Amino acid sequence: MATDREWANGYFQQAAADMRAASDLRGAAPSVVAMLVQMALEKFGKAALLRSGQFGINSARGSRRGASKMVRVLTRNHGACRRLGYSGRSIEDDLLPLIYDLERSHPVLNRDGPHLEYPWETPAGQIEWPAQHLAVGRRFRPENTQGIRLIKFLQQLCDRFDRVFL
């Protein structure tokens, strides 16, 4: 039977792979980059929760809000922010709103859309889809630096995860 720590490593490694894919795609398909960044965030959150020693794999599988809570709690930890090269305030003001928007666009949390992965029907009966119509996806266009800043932050988190979470 695998330990929570082993599960945490699995989630972390896959989050790192999602981030590499997001970086490779950057500028080419903004809504797909947004989806990959949300997927990476969710897995980083689950990896951190599983490392806490207080949260098992069954809880982690069902959790959808771990990423925003992870980053929100991180902003209270001066040492962790310093090791990532950020201030808590800059993460809270600049990055957290986009993280909340990505999280809210998860198909499970926003079943009727708009969301990151599938088409949805508007109240007026129109079919829309992420690549064309997802507002949060536009934040990952090359000319929008907020998405770029979030990717940079997540790459730092990926590189220094062991220096932040025990």
Residue numbers at the binding site for other proteins (CB under 8 A): 48-49, 51-55, 63, 65-66, 69-70, 72-74, 76-80, 88, 163-166
Task: State the Cα–Cα distance between residues 74 and 165, nearest whole angstrom.
Answer: 10
Are 36 and 150 within 8 A, CB to CB?
A: no
Shortest distance, CB of residue 76 to other proteins, whole angstroms? 5
Shortest distance, CB of residue 113 to other proteins, whole angstroms? 20
Shortest distance, CB of residue 140 to other proteins, whole angstroms? 23
Closer of 57 and 164 to other proteins (Cβ): 164
Closer of 78 and 111 to other proteins (Cβ): 78
Shortest distance, CB of residue 25 to other proteins, whole angstroms? 29
Shortest distance, CB of residue 138 to other proteins, whole angstroms? 24
Task: State the Cα–Cα distance between residues 28 and 141, nearest whole angstrom.
Answer: 8
Are 30 and 148 within 8 A, CB to CB?
A: no
Look at residues 26, 53, 13 and name the one whose alpha carbon lies nearest to residue 161: 13
Closer of 22 and 47 to other proteins (Cβ): 47
Closer of 54 and 126 to other proteins (Cβ): 54
Beta-bridge partners for 148: none
Closer of 51 and 139 to other proteins (Cβ): 51
Task: State the Cα–Cα distance between residues 2 and 37, nearest whole angstrom.
Answer: 27
